[in-house]
Amino acid sequence: MLELILGGARSGKSRLAERLADESGLEVVYIATSQPLDGEMNERVAQHRARRPAHWALVEEPLALARVLQEEAASGRCLLVDCLTLWLTNLLMLEDAQRLNAEREALLACVAQLPGRILLVSNETGLGVVPLGELTRRYVDEAGWLHQALAERSQRVLFTVAGLPMTLKGDAL
């Protein structure tokens, strides 16, 4: 089952995904896409680590998400990816502009066929003002297109606000 969990910054989307993974009763593999390159990001990573059960497996992969999903997905296993917008940022910052297209297409091609339960967490960035600057506008555009394509492929899509999940598609929680 493929589930997309969207929300703004500090909306509770990661906590919701962690709760769903924990309640699944399945073996959990947490796939982290962040690259903690500064003190603030290191602190965020530490907060996420402290919340996660120690018995969950961890895979850190900032770029080749489709490859990791294909390697780790199995029936009886829940993969939790946190988060797609960090992954997208990592790809946007590369010198190789074609890598984003290749990685996005690989992700979209594989997600619907993966065995087990897949929880994808991502920041909904399209609710604010249109950002100034070419890179930030491209980021918002790319995230929006990615979310639309993944929502189409997902059995359930949730949107979190103030820690409360709203079901946009599929069975309610």
Which residues are part of the catalytic machinery? 48
In the numeric block, the tokens 């680590």 are attached to 49
In the numeric block, the tokens 């924990």 are attached to 22
Residue 140 CB neighbour total at 10 angstroms: 17
Amino acid at 140: V
Q: Which strand (E) or helix (H) includes residue 20?
A: helix 13-23
Query: CA-to-CA distance for 22 and 73, rounded, in angstroms?
Result: 16
Q: Give the CA-trace dihedral at 159, 161, 166, 168, to 10 degrees.
A: -30
